[in-house]
Amino acid sequence: MKFQNRETELKELERIRKLCEISTHFTILTGRRRVGKTELVKKLCENEEHLYFFIGRKKISLLLEELSEIARTRIEIFPTILKFDEWLEFLLNNVSNNTVIFFDEFQNFKYVDESIFSEFQKVLDRNIDKVQVHVIAAGSHITLMNKIFSDSKEPLFGRATEKYVLKPLLFKNVAKMLVEIGVTSIEDQVRWYTVFGGIPKYYVAAQEQGLYGSDIFSALKLLLFREFAKQNKFLLYTLDDIERCLG
């Protein structure tokens, strides 16, 4: 499925990338789950040097081992490092200039070791004018991300050079995605948008599940209500309730 819209966001992130020719920039990207944060950054990095780190909730030793393996795809000799501040210091000083360093689900560091935020702050302060990279921290837990970066008592308060909230897609953009899966009538497109809104992940899932030309009720049965489908917390109604609402 084609990447839709986000031209404004991409232009802004590209502007920041050019600024990284002078000094390091630290961008914060938040937004609800499945809104497309990861895909946006991947699109930005299509033709750029980059490192993608997903922050899982695991022991610090295991996480650093995993992150180091990823780093070795860009830094041939990356030693085994057991402390996060030393790991980040080595990374920043050994990647190529203008590299995008993307930490996905950044707030999960809280569950790994909360002291990482202080270590991140100290390393960033030491290197922000010494190296030229673009650090991007994305997170789906908006409340926690706001606390990490907007609470004056937190170590990373005031450290972000840019902050963006990624909003859901507009109907006109979703309509283009629906055309790709054979949903062409405006009535059917409105029904899909009424249920799934501007969250691109659901339309991608519909394509992956072979729902070409399907009506919204068939999509709901397959994506949400069949026995093995994952239940989505935002969906508070039964299929009959939705059918009555949509007519």
Tens digit of each residue's pLDDT (9 = 90 or more) over 97-106: 989 999 999 9
pLDDT at position 52: 96
Q: What is the pTM of this model?
A: 0.83
| pLDDT at residue number 94 | 95
Residue 186 clears pLDDT 60, i.e. is over it: yes
Evaluated on CA atoms 247, 199, 33, 156, the torsion sign reads: negative
Comparing C-alpha atoms, which of 221, 204, 216, 206 is closest to residue 169? 204
Mean pLDDT of 132-147: 93
Q: Which residues contact 25 (CB under 8 A, 6 or more apart)?
A: 16, 19, 134, 135, 161, 162
User: What does the alpha-carbon distance between residue 197 and residue 221 come to, in Å, rounded to a whole number?
Assistant: 17
**pLDDT, tens digit, for every residue of 54-94?**
999 999 999 999 999 999 999 989 999 999 999 999 999 99
Residue with more model confidence, 234 or 39:
39
Q: Provide the percentage of residues in the chain whose pLDDT is more than 70.
A: 89
Burial (Cβ within 10 Å: 0-12, 13-18, ≥19) of residue 4: buried
Give the mean pLDDT of 237-243: 49
Q: What's the pLDDT score for residue 30?
A: 94
Domain boundaries, the chain: 7-165, 171-246
- The correct answer on CATH 3.40.50.300 for the domain covering 7-165 is yes
Strands of the sheet with 134-139, listed across from one edge: 50-54, 100-104, 134-139, 25-30, 162-165
* Beta-carbon contacts of residue 242 (< 8 Å; ≥ 6 apart): 195, 216, 217, 220
Output the CA torsion 83→88→41→46 (10° steps).
Answer: -120
